[in-house]
Structure 1
């Protein structure tokens, strides 16, 4: 392929040849001893997809929906996601190590949030009005808004700061959250902010990712 793989990825392959991170399934290095498990290796994947991938892009992983994760030959450190439907490259992380850290953090926050709301049966939010509306913030990664959801009343109360100081804490049954809110948000291309800090900083999730966790 005319390019070295990122150092962090080569170290990861050394621990486990075929692995996944978040939604991404990483192609293995071909190993004749385990051909049945490594036949769809990273070299083969790039050869087969060469015509459809962006020029200079080397794929390392797929999400199973046609999108690919990889790097550019002239910048082997930065990790990019290639979204096939819009044929667009987006920076996923500035290094493979950073990608691992972000993915692990996303998984930890999502798991904790889902376990808590499943246990107490409620999702919490903030609203300027007592019985309607929902607090949101602009997304840091996409041209859309992020609705904030909390797994406890205490976490929601902690975000009543600055312009949100007079907001009310509101409750949403988890069944309604899963059956109506998340599907509608997905249709409207909105994102979810889960258990953001009192500085209104946190990770953003696609509603479909949360729905998949509960399936």
Structure 2
């Protein structure tokens, strides 16, 4: 699976899945991205389907339960919050844990672009629409670079 497949599936379902426990969310550490001090960035893991989340419920995540987030909450609250937290988004990780890692700002832009291009159904939570989300995300990305 690639980022495009993940995005198309969450738009179709209007949901994103995550694993939670009393200790928090299913997280791992990036193999590719580091903080300035050289330690690996935290990766918060999300799944495009309940089945994929279930398959990942092994090893360190075996005591986690599956929960879902509405797409608009994920896009407008979680991902923007992850930018502030300086975390990566992990997409469809398996139990190893291995999967795709992407910055939340890039994921916001890709999701918004896909929604806009496909005229997909999207009900904004806080914004004026997906175009506004993309504009804000691009401004943030430009200020980061």
Same topology, TM > 0.5: yes
TM-score scaled by length of structure 1: 0.47
1:169 Cα deviation from its structure 2 partner:
0.4
Partner of 2:15: 122
1:128 Cα deviation from its structure 2 partner:
1.1
Q: Which secondary structure does the structure 2 equivalent of 1:179 belong to? A: helix
User: Where in structure 1 do 4 or more consecutive aligned residues deviate above 4 Å?
Assistant: none
Partner of 1:111: 4
Partner of 1:198: 95
Q: Is the 8 A contact 2:59 2:95 kept in 1?
A: no
Larger Rg: 1
Partner of 1:181: 78
1:138 Cα deviation from its structure 2 partner:
1.2
Q: Which secondary structure does the structure 1 equivalent of 2:17 belong to? A: strand
> How many angstroms apart in 1 are the aligned matches of 2:80 and 2:87?
10
> How many angstroms apart in 1 are the aligned matches of 2:62 and 2:100?
22
Structure with greater proportional helix content: 2
Partner of 2:132: none
> How many angstroms apart in 2 are the aligned matches of 1:153 and 1:136?
17
> How many angstroms apart in 1 are the aligned matches of 2:84 and 2:109?
16
1:161 Cα deviation from its structure 2 partner:
0.7
1:212 Cα deviation from its structure 2 partner:
0.7
Q: Which secondary structure does the structure 2 equivalent of 1:193 belong to? A: strand
Which structure's relative contact order is higher, taking Cα pairs within 8 Å and 6+ residues apart?
2
Report the aligned-residue RMSD: 1.5
**Consecutive unaligned residues in structure 2, runs of 5 or more:** 35-39, 113-145
Q: Which secondary structure does the structure 2 equivalent of 1:169 belong to? A: strand
1:150 Cα deviation from its structure 2 partner:
0.2
**Consecutive unaligned residues in structure 1, runs of 5 or more:** 1-107
Q: Which secondary structure does the structure 2 equivalent of 1:197 belong to? A: coil
> How many angstroms apart in 2 are the aligned matches of 1:114 and 1:203?
12
Partner of 1:134: 25
1:164 Cα deviation from its structure 2 partner:
1.4
